[in-house]
């Protein structure tokens, strides 16, 4: 199952190109480390666990952030980690708009104009 998902996710680049897009935005806990380890821009968003818990509760979620991180960080296949070469952004004290602004500025600086 995992190999099928890997091929599907990687295939989304071709889908984006066929539709005239210059790139692809994808999020997930192993996108920058496993799915697209050679992407031009890879980001690792992190925040203080207490802030993440607050955000999840505001979304109506009651899961255990710390337990999920522990499980995902210690799994044998594609563990949660900041990939080598990825840009880490601590969003603890940033608004969503501020995170988007930072990411967009980095992408614009790294990718050539169309």
| pLDDT score for 8 | 94
CA dist 74 to 17, 66, 70, 81, 113, Å?
A: 35, 12, 6, 10, 40
Mean local confidence (pLDDT), 59-68: 91
pLDDT at 112 over 80: no
Instruction: Give the tens place of pLDDT for each residue, 14-58.
Output: 999 999 998 889 999 889 999 999 999 999 999 999 999 999 999
pLDDT band at 7 (very low <50, low <70, confident <90, very high): very high
In a domain, 43, yes or no: yes
Element (H, E) at 98: helix 96-110
CA dist 51 to 28, 62, 91, 101, Å?
A: 19, 13, 9, 20
| pLDDT score for 23 | 84
Among candidate residues 65, 39, 36, 61, the one with its CA nearest the CA of residue 50: 65
pTM of the shown model: 0.85
Q: Total structural domains in the chain?
A: 1
CATH of the domain at 86: 3.40.50.300
Question: Which domain covers residue 66, as residue numbers?
Answer: 28-110
In a domain, 16, yes or no: no
In a domain, 4, yes or no: no
Give the integer Cα–Cα distance in Å for 42 and 107.
9
CB contact at 8 A, 32 and 87? no
| pLDDT score for 99 | 97
Among candidate residues 43, 21, 19, the one with its CA nearest the CA of residue 32: 43
């Amino acid at each position: 199952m995992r190999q099928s998902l890997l091929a599907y996710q990687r295939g989304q680049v071709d889908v984006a190109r066929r539709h005239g897009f210059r790139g692809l935005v994808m999020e997930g806990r192993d996108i920058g480390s496993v799915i697209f380890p050679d992407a031009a821009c890879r980001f690792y968003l992190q925040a203080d666990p207490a802030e993440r818990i607050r955000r999840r509760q505001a979304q109506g979620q009651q899961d255990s952030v710390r337990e999920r991180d522990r499980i995902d960080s210690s799994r044998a296949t594609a563990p949660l980690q900041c990939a080598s070469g990825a840009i880490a952004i601590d969003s603890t004290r940033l608004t969503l708009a501020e995170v988007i602004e930072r990411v967009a500025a980095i992408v614009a600086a790294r990718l050539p104009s169309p």
